[in-house]
A and B are shown apart, each in its own frame.
Chain A
Amino acid sequence: MTKWGQKDLLGLENLSREHIELILSTAESFKEVSTRGIKKVPALRGKTVVNLFYEPSTRTRVSFEIAAKRLSADVINIATETSSVKKGETLIDTGLSIQALKADVIVVRHNASGAAAMLARHVDISVVNAGDGWHEHPTQALLDIFTLKQKLGNIKGLRVSIVGDIAHSRVARSNIWGLTKLGAKVTVCAPELLIPPEVEKMGVSVTHSIDSALSRADAVNVLRMQFERDTGAAFPRQLEYFRNFAVTEERLKKAKKDIIVMHPGPINRGIEISSAVADGKNSVILEQVTNGIAIRMAVLFLISQARRTQ
């Protein structure tokens, strides 16, 4: 049995296949807790989890909060717009203050790549990366992989296509690391300017054709077009993107009949995905949301355990 032994979860790039599998198998056991009449176990009783979010988020923050509460931890949410961050406090000073308040875990989302890792170097308490810039969003990738595993049994040998703004997507990056470590064949698909340079070095193939991305795939992960990150010329217009890259019923007809359609949310209906597909029989979008709780419970449990066993 693999020992976890790490106080933080910062990304999937530096996790071994065994560690990823340990999180997945632990999450499998935690899934049952959310189906009980009393949806709570006492594993993290007396622990304090602080959600520190520098970017807007609904699903990730709520999911972490629910996960922590189902483990009986106490949860504090800090929205930076209403905190001392507005007065100019740095991430590290905020982190040290949270540590001085005797919290046990900081779940951090930040618009700067590497923010979670930097915070983890400066505090002794556990840090979980809930998304840092364009870098990683490990728990999202883990819940995507977990959902695939529940649907298709084994990740090894699966063909998974990731469609959308790969260049600016931390979800894509974490998925690529996780999926390739578990032996999936990953294809990324986007307009040329939204593919990061040298992405092939991560072990993926690249296509600019949505039809070829869909043609042999067992699953497609549709990313949200992040128009708020619009940097000018590189960004396609919404309608143009829909015409050329959206996952629609018409296009799915040419794909495998039981292809799994995933989306990390929030969905932009009619931009990267049509409503019919988002709500259709191939979609597992809401199952992903449910599975996110089990994954985050597993992560919070394992890192809390590691701190005690060090």
Chain B
Amino acid sequence: MEDKDIREIMDGRSIENALTRIAHEIIEHNAGDSGIAVVGIRTRGEYLAHRLVAIIEKLKGTKLPLGLLDITLYRDDLMIADSQPVVHETKIDFDVSEKNIILVDDVLYTGRTIRAALDAFIDFGRPQSIQLAVLVDRGHRELPIRADYVGKNIPTSKQETVVVRLNEIDNKDQVLVKN
């Protein structure tokens, strides 16, 4: 492993701190509004959404609806993708209307995933608002999309890769930038 090509940007503690801060911001931003629901974008957004919900529930002392969104069928590169796309189940078993939906993903990059997620989500109804929370914003947007809550802004070049590892599937909490 060439150390100078891999930089650790966040460790377990800074990921936890970032999520806690985002949770506070979500509560503050949506104060007085009827309902918040958190929806994770599969795969890693799912785990981040679970964690966010746990933190917000602890802070507010009330239960939050949690949904999971698989955007494979809405991808704009579906028919040009090289690899076998794997379709996972979407699970939104609450009424989305009148709710403030917090979409959660690990990395915000081109914005195309979020575009697909918005399209997918609209098929479930008309929420009061849709807000976006991401652990990492690495820039290089190709669509007019921005995040409402950001764990960390990481300036990157397009040649670099951002890797988010989470305990739940990677046995470690870590954000790396690879050259």
Contacts and interface: CB of A to CB of B under 8 A. Distances in A.
Interface in B31-66: none
A308 B77 CA distance: 11
A103 to B, nearest CB: 16
A40 B119 CA distance: 11
Given A36-B124, A40-B123, A42-B73, A1 B81 contact: no
B84 A4 contact: yes
Contacts of A37: 123-125
Q: Which of B72, B74, B78, B80 has the most CB of A within 10 A?
A: B78
Nearest to B96: A37
B84 A309 contact: yes
Interface stretch (A23-31, A53-61, A128-136, A259-267): A23-31
B1 interface: no
Nearest to B84: A3
Interface in A1-43: 1-5, 26, 28-33, 36-38, 40-43
Given A43-B78, A309-B84, A29 B70 contact: yes
Nearest to B85: A305
A301 interface: yes
Interface stretch (B12-20, B86-94, B129-137, B163-171): B86-94
A295 to B, nearest CB: 13
Interface residues of B, number: 23
A1 B86 contact: yes
Contact of B73 (A4, A5, A43): A43
A71 to B, nearest CB: 8
Contacts of B70: 29
A5 B85 CA distance: 11
A65 B153 CA distance: 47
Given A3-B84, A309-B82, A32 B73 contact: no
B119 to A, nearest CB: 7
A177 to B, nearest CB: 23
Contacts of B88: 29
B23 to A, nearest CB: 28
B87 A30 contact: yes
B52 to A, nearest CB: 23
14 contacts: A2-B84, A28-B89, A29-B87, A37-B124, A38-B123, A40-B123, A41-B74, A41-B120, A42-B73, A43-B78, A304-B79, A305-B78, A305-B81, A305-B84
Interface of A: 1-5, 26, 28-33, 36-38, 40-43, 71, 301, 304-305, 308-309
